[in-house]
């Protein structure tokens, strides 16, 4: 960080350089007033001074007299010392030399600055004090400990002005993130012992009063009900202020589809009761209807196009309807889902109607229809739903499985406990589905269906420093299993049975090509399925810096069968891949070898979902 006057000087230098540059275009024979060279044993010191010395602002002025250059050199030594102080060097040796270079094409004079920065100053001790309610409240002990243990400039580290400012700011952000949004830095002092090259640091934080969430007010609501917005936001009114909970409420509103933009703020003005601080949501409502065109590509299904129509307020019902048509070489889909507004409990009604053609259901084409109605609840980490479902399917091909129809009552639960929902580096995800129903074609028979999947991402080793922890390798473990329990003669609709293989299951095999081999030697869906995967993820460091890429090595295995005892006949795939954390989401590319089919497949995937 530059001292204020150096920032101003640098800004002025840029302006002067631009002005002089215009003159240079007009006068090709113009030379700089002088050239500037900085040398130092430290590359960082050299580059810093070369960039920020005040001398740089005058270098392009070709009409400077020799007396003015000499005056600038006198001031340059003090300027260099100030700059070196910000880097933690308080006893430097600085030598400036001016040479006349009348025959040079660049400038008639040359200024050389030689710097021996001396020993770097290290932090000797740190004192962190608290004032206000946070100092004595036992509930805040963990918060105080977090600030102290997470201090970014601990004893033994090099002292720099940017590091000192960053450490104070980090502590303030940690304090103001929970209960104390008006916290401030009340005092700070860096006591420098230049002779000993040591720095003693002291910072005092004043928490201000503790705050609780008050009522939520919606500004900008015209088309959509403000009370419904409050139910969508689920702001925990009456609870202690937590910045993350405020951001979560903002995200829920923004992702609801009803708003193009959402911004939540807490009113902390004087006179506001901290125990019921009002929250304001400034919203810009989305259009009543819109059409969204989409394109995509996967190695399993090739290019894909889709058209979505969204109606945010169906007349007379005031539900939200999202209708979609999508087409790729494997799947053609037409569906519409109508969703009601959430009740105070967070549960909402929904209805789904869907027609689908799956050209890659093993060796068959399956036409299916589905209707679903029920209630769902989306939480911060947990999604739940209970629904009644009707399924119908007919298969086409050589010796196809029989058509099936069924009605079932289902329960579904999904929990996501990842550090980053879009690109996780640690955490767990778990999903489970249970269903019970009756077949409707042929003999009417009962059946039970169960399905579950799990993903765990575990860093190898540990490190308190997040930057170092991000470089550590990770182990990703994945498991998936499902089963339909029914008599052999029960005509179960194909979408309720199981196929596997592809980008997100068993790599090295094509999409949904692991199934049961029937009497005709063709692959069809089966009643039982299991999948397991182990993947080593290694972040890639280049030139000492963590890159946006990581390499992976993996082994996948899975099986589908009509009898549980046959699940041991696993199809295995193994390979390597690369991940790229792109600005719009993770991109995955895997090269996998299918042991059973003895072939290599390239798998491409964009984004992360669980």
Query: Residue 559: which of 481, 454, 476, 460 has the closest Cα?
Result: 481
Phi-psi category of 325—alpha, beta or left, where left has phi over 0 and alpha has psi -120 to 50? beta
Cα separation, 206 vs 133, whole angstroms: 9
Question: Which helix (H) or strand (E) element contains residue 75?
Answer: helix 66-86
How does DSSP classify residue 342?
A: P
Cα separation, 217 vs 345, whole angstroms: 19
Going by their DSSP bridges, the two strands 348-361 and 331-339 should be labelled as: antiparallel
Query: Residue 45: which of 117, 121, 120, 119 has the closest Cα?
Result: 117
The Cβ of residue 585 has, within 10 Å, a number of other Cβ atoms equal to 12
The b-or-e profile of 546-571 (16+ CB within 10 A means b, else e) is eeeebebebbbbbbbbbeeeebeebb
Cα separation, 164 vs 121, whole angstroms: 12
Note the pLDDT of residue 464: 57
- Quickly list H helices, 290-373: none
Note the pLDDT of residue 178: 95
Going by their DSSP bridges, the two strands 109-116 and 93-100 should be labelled as: antiparallel
**Token couple for 605:** 């995937």
**Token couple for 117:** 């920065």
Q: Tell me if 558 sits within 8 A of 572, measured CB to CB.
A: no
Question: Which helix (H) or strand (E) element contains residue 558?
Answer: strand 545-561
Q: Tell me if 81 sits within 8 A of 94, measured CB to CB.
A: yes
Q: What are phi and psi of 421, to 5 degrees?
A: -65, -20
% pLDDT > 70, the chain: 93
How far apart, in Å, are the Cα atoms of 151 and each of 146, 242, 480?
8, 21, 42
Question: Which helix (H) or strand (E) element contains residue 269?
Answer: none
The Cβ of residue 57 has, within 10 Å, a number of other Cβ atoms equal to 19
- Binned average pLDDT, 10 residues per bin, the chain of 610 residues: 38 35 44 88 91 88 80 89 93 91 86 92 95 91 92 92 94 95 95 93 96 95 91 94 94 93 94 94 94 83 90 91 94 96 92 94 94 94 96 94 96 95 91 98 96 96 66 94 96 96 93 92 95 96 87 97 94 96 89 95 88
Cα separation, 97 vs 383, whole angstroms: 71
Question: Which helix (H) or strand (E) element contains residue 338?
Answer: strand 331-339
Note the pLDDT of residue 334: 97
Q: Tell me if 313 sits within 8 A of 224, measured CB to CB.
A: yes
Note the pLDDT of residue 19: 34
Q: Torsion over CA of 534, 608, 421 and 295, rounded to 10 degrees?
A: 180
The b-or-e profile of 290-321 (16+ CB within 10 A means b, else e) is eeeeeeeebbbbeebeeeeebbbbeeeeebbb
Which residues are registered as beta bridge partners of 439? 406
Total residues belonging to the chain: 610
pTM equals: 0.76
Query: Residue 507: which of 533, 525, 530, 488 has the closest Cα?
Result: 533
**Token couple for 567:** 């699940």
The Cβ of residue 480 has, within 10 Å, a number of other Cβ atoms equal to 21
In order of their start, the domains of the chain are 4-116 (3.10.20.310), 122-206 (3.10.20.310), 213-285 (3.10.20.310), 342-606 (2.40.160.50)
Cα separation, 192 vs 159, whole angstroms: 10
The Cβ of residue 284 has, within 10 Å, a number of other Cβ atoms equal to 10
User: What are the tens digits of pLDDT across the range 507-552?
Assistant: 999 988 999 999 889 999 999 999 999 999 999 988 778 899 999 9
């Amino acid at each position: 960080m530059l001292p204020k006057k150096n920032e101003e000087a640098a800004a002025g230098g840029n302006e002067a350089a631009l002005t002089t540059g215009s003159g240079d275009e007009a006068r090709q024979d113009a030379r700089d007033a002088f050239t500037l060279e900085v040398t130092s044993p430290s590359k960082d010191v050299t580059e810093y001074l070369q960039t920020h010395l005040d001398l740089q602002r005058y270098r392009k002025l070709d009409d400077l007299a020799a007396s003015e250059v000499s005056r600038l050199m006198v001031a340059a030594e003090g300027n260099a010392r100030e700059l070196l102080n910000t880097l933690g060097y308080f006893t430097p040796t600085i030598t400036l030399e001016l040479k006349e270079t009348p025959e040079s094409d660049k400038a008639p004079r040359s200024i050389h600055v030689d710097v021996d920065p001396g020993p770097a100053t290290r932090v000797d001790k740190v004192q962190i004090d608290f004032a206000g309610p946070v100092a004595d409240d036992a509930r805040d002990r963990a918060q105080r400990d977090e600030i102290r243990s997470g201090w970014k400039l601990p004893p033994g580290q090099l002292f720099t002005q940017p590091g000192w400012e960053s450490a104070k700011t980090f502590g303030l952000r940690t304090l103001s993130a929970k209960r104390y949004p008006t916290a401030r830095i009340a005092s700070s002092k860096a006591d420098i012992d230049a002779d000993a090259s040591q720095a003693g640091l002291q910072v005092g934080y004043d928490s201000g009063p503790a705050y609780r969430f008050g009522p939520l007010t919606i500004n900008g609501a015209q088309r959509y009900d403000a009370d419904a917005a409050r139910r969508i936001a689920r702001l925990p009114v009456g609870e202690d202020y937590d910045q993350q909970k405020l951001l979560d409420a903002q995200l829920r509103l923004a992702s609801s589809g009803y708003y193009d933009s959402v911004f939540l703020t807490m009113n902390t003005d004087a006179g506001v009761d901290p125990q019921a601080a009002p929250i304001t949501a400034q919203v810009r409502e989305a259009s009543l209807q819109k059409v969204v065109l989409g394109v995509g590509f996967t190695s399993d299904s090739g290019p894909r196009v889709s058209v979505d129509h969204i109606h945010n307020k169906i007349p007379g019902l005031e539900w939200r309807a999202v209708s979609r048509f999508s087409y790729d070489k494997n799947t053609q889909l037409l569906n519409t889902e109508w969703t009601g507004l959430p009740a105070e409990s967070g549960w909402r009604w929904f209805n789904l109607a869907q027609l689908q053609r799956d050209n890659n259901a093993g060796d068959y084409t399956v036409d299916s229809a589905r209707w679903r109605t029920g209630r769902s609840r989306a939480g911060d980490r947990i999604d739940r739903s209970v629904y009644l479902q009707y399924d119908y399917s007919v298969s086409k091909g050589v010796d196809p499985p029989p058509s099936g129809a069924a009605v079932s009552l289902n329960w579904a639960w999904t929990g996501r406990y990842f550090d980053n929902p879009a690109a996780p580096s640690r955490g767990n995800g778990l999903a489970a589905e249970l269903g019970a129903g009756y077949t409707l074609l042929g003999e009417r028979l009962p059946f039970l269906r169960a399905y579950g999947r799990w993903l765990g991402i575990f860093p190898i080793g540990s490190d308190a420093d997040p930057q170092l922890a991000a470089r550590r390798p990770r182990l990703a473990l994945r498991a998936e299993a499902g089963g339909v329990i029914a008599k052999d003669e029960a005509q179960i609709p194909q979408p309720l049975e199981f196929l596997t293989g592809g980008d997100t299951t068993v790599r090295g095999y094509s999409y949904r090509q692991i199934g049961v081999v029937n009497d005709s030697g063709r692959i069809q869906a089966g009643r039982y399925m299991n999948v397991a995967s182990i993947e080593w993820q290694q972040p890639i460091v280049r030139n000492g810096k963590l890159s946006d890429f990581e390499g992976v090595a993996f082994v996948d295995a899975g099986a589908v069968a009509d009898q549980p005892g046959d699940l041991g006949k696993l199809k295995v795939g193994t390979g390597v891949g690369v991940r790229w954390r792109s600005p719009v989401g993770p991109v995955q590319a895997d090269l996998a070898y299918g042991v059973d089919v003895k072939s290599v497949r390239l798998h491409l995937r964009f984004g992360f979902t669980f």
